[in-house]
C-alpha cells in the first residue's frame, strides 16, 4: 500500500512537474487579464477582444475592431463620421452607442458634434476591449446606451516598459505611436501615450467635385495612479475632409472639419467602498462646407457656404458603491452632469449664434442575486431627470428598467433580458436658438424609448464555442427629420435581430470563428445590408502570427441605388524578429469588394474601408 | 477494492492539482529550489500572498523570517542584512534586490517573466532542473 502511495505521488509530481514552463507562464498571463475582473456577464451580450487578438490583427484604431462586429455593424456617415448600423436599418441613434476609456465616457457630447469617429481612437495603449450589446448600461454608472464599448488601458505594473510603433500604407498614410508605462514606487505608477497619424483615403468624384476624406489625427492619454487615486487626461484632434458635405447635389468644394476633444478624470476609491469620480470634457468642432449646388437649410433657404463652430463642456460628478455578500451584489449610485453648448453658424453672409445648457441628475441601483451556484437574477432601475436652461425645450424625466436571468448548465449558459431604456435626444434636434438654422428643431420631442426582449444561449467547451443571440426591439417615439415639419416623433416600430457564431480553438494559439447575423424591420424595408457574416482565423506558427478576416454583407438598395453583396478580406502577418521587435504586413479590403455605403444624392456607393496595404514595425524596450 | 480506493484518491489528487497558474508557477519554483525538502518554510511580506503559499502542497508559511527557508518579497522590505534566501516578486523588487535575490517572478513589457540569477544560485549551491535552466541569467 505504502509503495503504491509513493508511486502515486511520484506520478502526480511527474504529471505536473513535466509541464512546459513557457506554457505555464502564458496561462498565468491569460489568467491575469484584467477582463477577469471587469467583464460583466449580466450587463448584456458581451464580446471580448484581448490584447493578443488586437496584436494579431495589427489593430490601429477602434475602427479595425468594429469590422468584426455583427449587430450593429460599422459604416460611415455622409460626413465621414462613424455610423453604427443594424442590418436593414439606416443607423443606430448616436446616443445608442457609448465608448469608454476605463470608466470615462468619451462620447459625452450633448450636441452630437461629430466627435464619434472610431478611426480617431487609436488602440496601442489599450490592453483589451469589451463590447456589450442589448445593454441597459446601468452598471457602468453613466448615461444610457444599448451598446457599450469599453476600452481598458494597459496596466503599468504589467507593462514596466515602453513601446514605439511605426506603420504606413501604400496610399501614403503614416502612423506613429509610443507609450511608456511604469511603476515608480510600490504606490505610484503611470502610463503615458501619444500618437500622430496622417490617413490618406480614396477620393471619389461626383459631377466633377472631389469627395475626400483624408484626415490628420493626434491622440494622447496619460494616467497617474497613487494609492487609491487615479488621475487621467486624454483627448484627440482630428482634422480632415467630410466626404460628401451637406450639398443637396453632392458637389462639394470644401468639407473641412476640425474636432478637438480633451478630458480630465479623477477617481478616488474610499476605504468604505465608495467610489467618487469627477471629470471635465471639452469638445470644440469647427466645420466649413461650401457647395455651389446649394445646401438646403431650414432657416436660410439654399446657401452655398455654411460655417459651424460648436464648443461644448461637460462637468460630471459620479458616486457609486457596491455592497456584496456571498450570494448578493447591490450596486447603487448617482451622478450629476452639467453640459454647456455654444454654437456659431454662418450661412453665406448671415451669422447666428446661441448658447444653452442642461443638467442631468441620475440615481440608479442594480441587484444581482445568486439563487444557487448556477442561476443569477438581475434587476436594475435608473431614474434620470433632464433640466434645460432654455424654456424652449421641455424638461424630461426618463427611466431605465431591466430584469435578467443567467443560467449555467454545465458548459451551457442561457441569458434572458427584458430592458426598457431610452436614447437621449441630442441638442442638435431640440434647439437652435431663436430661429431655425440648418435644421428645424423641436424642443417638445419625446426621447425615443427602445424596449428589448433578448435571449442568448452559449456553449463553452474546451475547443468548441457557440453563441446564439436574438432580440426583439420595440422602439417608441423614434425621432425622424421631415423637410416640412422638422424633427418629429414617429409611430412605434418593431425590429427583430438574430445572430449565431461558432468558434473552434484547435490549438492554444489558433482558432477559427464563423458568424452570421440577420435583422428585419417591421415594414420589411432594407436600408442597409439585411444580413451578413464573418469568417475569422487566428493562427500562430513559430515566430509568425496570422490573422484573416472575411466580412460578407448582403446587397441592398437605398435612394434608388443598389449595392452588390460585399466581400471584405483583411489579412495580416506578423513576424517576431526577436522577443521585442516585430514586423508586420496587413492588407485591408484586399479584393476591393468591401461594403459600400449608399447616400442620398449619389449614384454609387462608397467604400467604408479602402483597399490598402500596411507595413508595420513595433519595438519594445 | 483497494485498487478502486487508490484510483479514487489519485483522481481526487489530480483534480486538487487543477489550481491557478500562479500557484503552479510558485509550486514549480519552490520545488526547483528545494528538491530535497518535503516541507518548504516560506515567509512573505504580503499577507494575501502568504495565504496563496499556504495552499501549496509541501509548503508551510511561517510568521518569523528566522524560521523560513526562503523569503518571498513583494514590497519595500529591507533585505540588506538578511541572511536568508530571497525571491523577488515584482519588477521593482527584482531590480532593487538583484544583488541578493536568487531570482524573480515579475511582469515586464506586458509579459510574465521568470529569472534566476546565476551568481546567486552558485552562492547558494543550487542546480536547477533542466526545465528551468533557460531562465537562468547573468544579471548584474
What pLDDT is attached to residue A42? Answer: 87
Percentage with pLDDT > 90 across chain A = 86
What pLDDT is attached to residue B49? Answer: 86
Q: Is the ipTM of this complex over 0.90?
A: no
Burial class (CB in 10 A: 0-12, 13-18, 19+), B126: middle
**A23 with A147, same domain?**
no
Helices B21-33 & B47-54 angle (0-180, nearest 10): 80
Average pLDDT, integer, range A479-483: 93
**A208 with A288, same domain?**
yes
pLDDT exceeds cutoff 50 at A13: no
pLDDT exceeds cutoff 50 at B12: no
Q: What is the mean pLDDT of chain A?
A: 93
Cβ contact (<8 Å) for A186 and B75?
yes
- Comparing CB atoms, the residue among A31, A186, A620 nearest residue B20 is A31
Between residues A116 and A115, which one has the greater pLDDT?
Answer: A116
Cβ contact (<8 Å) for A21 and B90?
no
Listed in order, strand segments (DSSP E) in A171-214 are: 174-185, 188-199, 204-206, 209-211
Shortest alpha-carbon distance between residue B27 and chain A (Å): 9
> Is B119 a domain residue?
yes
Cβ contact (<8 Å) for A157 and B107?
yes
What pLDDT is attached to residue A119? Answer: 79
Helices A21-31 & B21-33 angle (0-180, nearest 10): 140
What pLDDT is attached to residue B4? Answer: 52
> Is B44 a domain residue?
yes
Measure Cα distances from A353 to A294, A302, A346, A347, B12 in Å.
22, 19, 9, 11, 75
**Residues of A with Cβ-Cβ distance to B17 under 8 angstroms:** 12, 15-16
Give B3's pLDDT tier (boundaries 50, 70, 90): low
pLDDT exceeds cutoff 70 at B7: no
**Residues of A with Cβ-Cβ distance to B90 under 8 angstroms:** 157, 186
- Comparing CB atoms, the residue among B109, B113, B114 nearest residue A159 is B109
What pLDDT is attached to residue A2? Answer: 52
Burial A378-408 (b: 16+ CB within 10 A, else e): bebbbebebebeeebbeebebebbbebebbb
Distance CA A561, CA A81 (A): 22
CATH number, domain with residue A54 = 2.40.170.20
> Is B13 a domain residue?
no
pLDDT tens across A402-438, in order?
999 999 999 999 999 999 999 999 999 999 999 999 9
Average pLDDT, integer, range A199-205: 97
Confirm if A327 and A280 have CB atoms less than 8 A apart.
no
B76: nearest CA partner in chain A: A186
**A23 with A36, same domain?**
no
pLDDT exceeds cutoff 90 at A112: no
pLDDT tens across A590-615, in order?
999 999 999 999 999 999 999 999 99
pLDDT tens across A137-153, in order?
888 989 999 999 999 99
pLDDT exceeds cutoff 80 at A116: no
**Residues of A with Cβ-Cβ distance to B113 under 8 angstroms:** 25
pLDDT tens across A49-72, in order?
999 999 999 999 999 999 999 999
Measure Cα distances from A50 to A80, A327, A575, B99 in Å.
28, 29, 19, 37
**A502 with A528, same domain?**
yes
pLDDT tens across A228-245, in order?
999 999 999 999 999 999
> Does the N-terminal peptide bond of residue A72 adopt cis geometry, omega within 30 degrees of 0?
yes
What pLDDT is attached to residue A3? Answer: 53
Q: What is the enclosing helix (H) or strand (E) of A259?
A: strand A252-269
Q: Residue B118 is part of which domain span?
A: 20-137
Distance CA A362, CA A397 (A): 10
Burial class (CB in 10 A: 0-12, 13-18, 19+), A565: middle
**A124 with A7, same domain?**
no
**A379 with A491, same domain?**
yes
pLDDT tens across A337-368, in order?
999 999 999 999 899 999 999 999 999 999 99
Give A131's pLDDT tier (boundaries 50, 70, 90): very high
> Is B9 a domain residue?
no
Distance CA A118, CA B117 (A): 46
Which residues does residue A288 pair with via DSSP β-bridges, in sequence order? Answer: A256, A307
What pLDDT is attached to residue A175? Answer: 97
Give B48's pLDDT tier (boundaries 50, 70, 90): confident
pLDDT exceeds cutoff 90 at A155: yes
Spatial CA neighbour of B85 closest among B50, B43, B114: B43
What pLDDT is attached to residue A433? Answer: 94
Shortest alpha-carbon distance between residue B16 and chain A (Å): 11
Cβ contact (<8 Å) for A16 and B24?
yes
Phi-psi region of B4 (alpha: psi -120 to 50; beta: other; left: phi over 0): alpha
Measure Cα distances from A271 to A93, A494, B25 in Å.
39, 47, 32
SS (H, E, C) A70-81: CCCEEEECCCCC
pLDDT exceeds cutoff 60 at A14: no
**A214 with A145, same domain?**
yes
Q: What is the mean pLDDT of chain B?
A: 86
Domain count, chain A: 2
- Comparing CB atoms, the residue among B14, B25, B110 nearest residue A158 is B110
- Comparing CB atoms, the residue among A20, A154, A183 nearest residue B91 is A183
Cβ contact (<8 Å) for B24 and A1?
no
What pLDDT is attached to residue A528? Answer: 94
**A308 with A380, same domain?**
yes
**A243 with A151, same domain?**
yes
Cβ contact (<8 Å) for A1 and B10?
no
Between residues B15 and A322, which one has the greater pLDDT?
Answer: A322
Dig out the grid coordinates for A380 from the structure.
436594475
- Comparing CB atoms, the residue among A15, A31, A51 nearest residue B22 is A31
**Residues of A with Cβ-Cβ distance to B10 under 8 angstroms:** 8, 11-12
**A7 with A46, same domain?**
no
Measure Cα distances from A158 to A56, A103, A183, A321, B106 in Å.
19, 19, 9, 27, 8
Residues 6+ away with beta carbon under 8 Å from A406:
A41, A42, A375, A376, A378, A413, A414, A415
Dig out the grid coordinates for A155 from the structure.
496596466
Distance CA A26, CA A31 (A): 9
Shortest alpha-carbon distance between residue B25 and chain A (Å): 7
Between residues A118 and A374, which one has the greater pLDDT?
Answer: A374
Cβ contact (<8 Å) for B17 and A186?
no
Shortest alpha-carbon distance between residue B84 and chain A (Å): 23
Cβ contact (<8 Å) for A25 and B112?
yes
> Is B4 a domain residue?
no
Cβ contact (<8 Å) for B110 and A51?
yes
Average pLDDT, integer, range B117-128: 93
Listed in order, strand segments (DSSP E) in chain B are: 40-44, 59-61, 70-73, 85-89, 103-108, 111-117, 136-137
> Is B127 a domain residue?
yes
Between residues B19 and B88, which one has the greater pLDDT?
Answer: B88
CATH number, domain with residue B62 = 3.40.50
Domain count, chain B: 1
> Is B99 a domain residue?
yes
Q: Residue A20 is part of which domain span?
A: 1-27
> Is B12 a domain residue?
no
Interface of B with A (CB under 8 A): 2, 6, 9-10, 13-14, 17, 20-22, 24-25, 27-28, 31, 75-76, 90-92, 106-114, 129, 131-132, 135
pLDDT exceeds cutoff 80 at A106: yes
Amino acid at each position: 500500500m505504502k509503495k503504491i502511495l509513493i508511486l502515486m505521488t511520484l506520478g502526480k509530481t511527474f504529471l505536473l512537474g513535466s509541464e512546459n514552463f513557457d506554457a505555464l507562464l502564458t496561462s498565468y498571463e491569460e489568467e491575469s487579464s484584467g477582463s477577469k475582473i471587469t467583464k460583466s456577464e449580466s450587463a448584456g451580450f458581451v464580446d471580448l477582444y484581448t490584447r493578443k487578438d488586437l496584436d494579431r490583427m495589427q489593430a490601429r484604431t477602434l475602427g479595425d475592431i468594429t469590422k468584426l462586429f455583427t449587430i450593429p455593424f460599422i459604416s460611415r456617415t455622409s460626413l465621414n463620421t462613424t455610423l453604427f448600423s443594424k442590418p436593414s436599418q439606416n443607423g443606430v441613434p448616436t446616443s445608442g452607442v457609448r465608448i469608454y476609456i476605463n470608466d470615462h465616457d468619451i462620447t459625452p457630447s450633448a450636441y452630437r458634434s461629430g466627435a464619434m469617429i472610431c478611426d480617431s481612437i487609436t488602440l496601442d495603449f489599450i490592453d483589451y476591449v469589451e463590447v456589450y450589446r442589448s445593454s441597459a448600461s446601468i452598471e457602468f454608472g453613466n448615461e444610457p446606451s444599448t451598446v457599450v464599448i469599453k476600452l481598458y488601458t494597459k496596466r503599468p505594473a504589467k507593462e514596466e516598459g515602453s513601446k514605439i510603433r511605426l506603420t504606413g500604407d501604400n496610399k501614403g498614410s503614416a502612423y506613429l505611436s509610443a507609450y511608456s508605462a511604469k511603476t515608480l514606487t510600490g504606490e505610484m505608477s503611470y502610463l503615458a501615450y501619444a500618437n500622430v497619424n496622417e490617413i490618406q483615403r480614396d477620393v471619389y468624384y461626383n459631377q466633377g467635385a472631389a469627395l475626400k476624406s483624408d484626415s490628420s489625427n493626434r491622440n494622447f492619454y496619460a494616467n497617474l495612479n497613487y494609492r487609491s487615486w487615479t488621475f487621467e487626461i486624454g483627448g484627440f484632434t482630428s482634422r480632415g475632409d467630410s466626404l460628401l458635405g451637406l450639398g443637396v447635389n453632392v458637389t462639394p468644394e470644401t468639407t473641412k472639419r476640425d474636432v478637438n476633444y480633451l478630458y480630465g478624470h479623477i477617481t478616488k476609491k474610499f476605504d468604505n467602498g465608495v467610489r467618487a469620480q469627477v471629470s471635465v470634457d471639452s469638445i470644440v468642432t469647427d466645420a466649413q462646407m461650401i457647395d455651389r449646388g446649394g445646401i438646403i437649410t431650414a432657416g436660410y433657404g439654399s446657401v452655398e457656404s455654411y460655417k459651424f463652430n460648436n464648443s461644448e463642456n461637460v462637468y460630471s460628478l459620479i458616486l457609486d458603491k457596491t455592497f456584496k455578500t456571498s450570494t448578493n451584489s447591490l450596486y447603487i449610485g448617482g451622478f450629476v452632469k452639467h453640459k454647456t453648448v455654444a454654437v456659431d453658424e454662418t450661412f453665406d453672409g448671415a451669422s447666428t449664434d446661441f448658447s444653452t445648457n442642461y443638467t442631468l441628475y441620475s440615481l440608479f441601483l442594480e441587484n444581482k442575486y445568486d439563487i444557487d451556484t448556477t442561476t443569477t437574477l438581475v434587476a436594475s432601475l435608473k431614474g434620470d431627470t433632464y433640466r434645460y436652461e432654455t424654456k424652449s425645450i421641455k424638461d424630461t424625466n426618463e427611466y431605465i428598467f431591466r430584469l435578467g436571468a443567467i443560467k449555467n448548465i454545465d458548459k451551457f449558459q442561457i441569458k434572458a433580458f427584458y430592458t426598457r431604456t431610452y436614447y437621449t435626444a441630442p441638442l442638435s434636434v431640440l434647439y437652435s436658438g431663436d430661429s431655425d438654422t440648418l435644421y428645424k428643431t423641436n424642443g417638445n420631442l419625446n426621447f425615443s424609448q427602445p424596449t428589448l426582449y433578448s435571449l442568448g444561449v452559449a456553449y463553452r467547451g474546451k475547443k468548441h464555442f457557440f453563441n446564439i443571440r436574438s432580440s426583439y426591439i420595440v422602439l417608441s417615439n423614434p425621432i425622424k427629420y421631415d423637410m416640412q415639419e422638422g424633427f418629429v416623433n414617429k409611430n412605434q416600430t418593431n425590429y427583430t435581430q438574430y445572430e449565431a457564431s461558432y468558434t473552434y480553438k484547435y490549438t492554444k494559439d489558433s482558432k477559427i470563428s464563423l458568424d452570421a447575423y440577420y435583422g428585419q424591420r417591421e415594414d420589411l424595408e432594407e436600408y442597409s445590408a439585411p444580413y451578413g457574416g464573418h469568417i475569422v482565423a487566428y493562427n500562430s506558427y513559430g515566430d509568425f502570427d496570422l490573422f484573416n478576416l472575411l466580412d460578407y454583407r448582403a446587397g441592398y438598395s437605398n435612394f434608388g441605388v443598389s449595392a452588390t453583396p460585399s466581400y471584405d478580406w483583411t489579412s495580416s502577418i506578423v513576424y517576431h524578429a526577436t522577443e521585442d521587435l516585430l514586423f508586420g504586413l496587413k492588407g485591408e479590403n484586399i479584393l476591393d469588394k468591401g461594403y459600400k455605403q449608399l447616400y442620398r444624392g449619389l449614384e454609387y456607393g462608397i467604400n467604408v474601408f479602402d483597399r490598402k496595404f500596411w507595413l508595420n514595425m513595433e519595438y519594445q524596450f | 477494492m483497494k485498487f478502486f480506493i487508490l484510483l479514487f484518491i489519485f483522481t481526487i489528487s489530480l483534480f486538487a492539482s487543477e489550481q491557478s497558474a500562479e500557484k503552479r508557477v510558485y509550486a514549480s519554483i519552490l520545488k526547483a529550489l528545494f528538491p530535497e525538502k518535503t516541507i518548504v518554510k516560506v515567509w512573505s511580506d504580503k499577507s494575501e500572498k502568504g495565504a496563496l503559499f499556504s495552499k501549496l502542497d509541501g509548503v508551510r508559511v511561517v510568521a518569523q523570517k528566522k524560521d523560513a527557508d526562503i523569503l518571498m518579497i513583494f514590497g519595500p522590505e529591507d533585505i540588506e542584512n538578511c541572511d536568508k534566501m530571497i525571491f523577488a516578486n515584482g519588477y521593482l523588487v527584482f531590480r532593487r534586490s538583484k544583488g541578493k535575490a536568487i531570482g524573480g517572478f515579475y511582469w515586464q513589457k506586458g509579459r510574465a517573466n521568470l529569472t534566476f540569477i546565476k551568481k546567486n544560485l552558485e552562492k547558494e549551491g543550487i542546480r536547477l532542473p533542466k526545465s528551468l535552466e533557460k531562465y537562468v541569467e547573468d544579471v548584474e
